[in-house]
Amino acid sequence: MQKKILLVLCGALLAIAGYLCGNRQATVAHAGPPVEGSVPKSYGRVAAVIPDQIGTGLIFEDKEGVIRFVSMTGMKEGELARYDGTPTHGGIPRSYGHLVGAVVNPAGTGLVFEDSDGVIRFVTITGKEEGELTRN
């Protein structure tokens, strides 16, 4: 019985000592300075937002299907053209439909498209199709 009382008292003393001697400084995460920039309306709608090496990136798609990668400061970082017939280097077929999302993983950036038939395609940023889902 005495060992149990001693164990409880020692535990209580350690808890009180930890509370009194603990770190009293709170760690607070601060946002960086506000970023201001502008993007031309001709870039179209924002289709996706992704993290990249320099911060957050925005992906726009215009009415012709051109996909543009833009930093939060408004600086254009890249562009993917769309094509109908002959493949273009770094282009995306128009038949893939509209850009609906994007993901970033260790292998690179992947784009997700959905066409009018409901086919969902996973495509690398270089235009290589990685996978496809169909809807029933």
List, for residues 52-99, the tens digit of each pLDDT value.
Answer: 666 788 999 999 889 998 988 888 888 888 888 877 777 888 889 999
pLDDT: which is higher, 7 or 130: 130
Identify the architecture of domain 41-133 in CATH: Beta Barrel (2.40)
Domain residue ranges in the chain? 41-133
Banded pLDDT at 34 (limits 50, 70, 90): confident
Buried b (16+ CB within 10 A) or exposed e, 19-39: eeeeeeeeeeeeeeeeeeeeb
- The pLDDT assigned to 86 comes to 79
* pTM for the structure as a whole: 0.66
Cβ atoms of 129 and 117 within 8 Å: the answer is no
- The pLDDT assigned to 132 comes to 92
Q: Which stretches within the chain are classed as H helix?
A: 2-21
